Structure 1
Amino acid sequence: MLLYNVTLILEDSVVEEWLQWMQETHIPQVMATGMFLSHRLLKVLDSPNEGVTYCTQYIAENLENYETYQTVHAPALQEDLNERFKNRFVAYRTLMEFVSPIS
């Protein structure tokens, strides 16, 4: 099992719009790809950065599903994010492997 984590640091002025778009549009589109088993959206409370920081986490069953998502689906979905919120966020992405079982 893999955890794909997307962290965004957003300008204060776009947080509400972004949060609504994520919950109503983006996350459902990502999950509709069928490449992830589940997701969660978290707000970072102790971020050292200016702005507001959120993490969106997706659980992939295997590396093949993650790689398919990255090559087939991610470019268009990320482009939509970039167009809607251009120059108002910074994003970074990490892929992690579970070492112990999910409880």
Structure 2
Amino acid sequence: MYLYNITFIADDAVAAEWASWLVSTHIPKIMASGKFTSHKVWRIIDSPNEGVTYSSQYFFENLEDFVDYLQEHAPQVEAELYEKYGEKVVSFASTMQDEL
């Protein structure tokens, strides 16, 4: 099992609107790619960052699907986020493997 984690930090001024958009638009678009088996969103309560921090997690079974997502779907999804929120929402991603 693999996990694609995107951490988002949203300015307080847009955090509520952005969280609604995340759930109604962003996550469904990622899941519609068919590359992930499930997802989960967590609000990070001990973040040292200003603003509101979330971890959006997407689970997948094989690396080929993930690479396909990154090449075929991620650029458009990321562009939509930047176009809508600019620098008011920043993000970084990491990929993990369950080995234990």
Report the Cα distance in structure 2 between the residues aligned to 1:13 and 1:53, rounded to whole angstroms. Answer: 13
| Counterpart secondary structure, 2:50 | coil
Name the amino acid aligned to 2:69: Y
Tell me the distance in 1 between the aligned counterparts of 2:62 and 2:16. Answer: 33
Distance 2:49 2:26 in 1: 24
TM-score w.r.t. the length of structure 2 is 0.97
Aligned positions, number: 100
Gaps of 5+ in 1: none
Pair 1:97-2:97 in alignment: yes
The alignment partner of 2:59 has SS state of: strand
Q: Please, which runs of 5 or more residues in structure 2 have no aligned partner? A: none
What is the rounded CA distance, in whole Å, between the counterparts of 1:81 and 1:15 in structure 2? 13
- Deviation string 1:59-100 (CA, Å, 9 cap, x unpaired) is 011100110000000000100000000010221100000113
Runs (4+) of structure 1 exceeding 2 A deviation are none
Identity across aligned pairs (percent)?
Answer: 44
Aligned match of 2:57:
57
Across the aligned residues of Structure 1 and Structure 2, the Cα RMSD in angstroms comes to: 0.7
Q: Specify the alignment match of 1:83 in structure 2.
A: 83
Q: Which residue of 2 aligns with 1:2?
A: 2
Matched, 1:19 2:19: yes
Query: SS state of the match for residue 33, structure 1?
Result: coil
Alignment of 1:18-37 (within 5 A): 18-37=18-37
Counterparts of 1:68-79 in structure 2 under 5 Å? 68-79=68-79
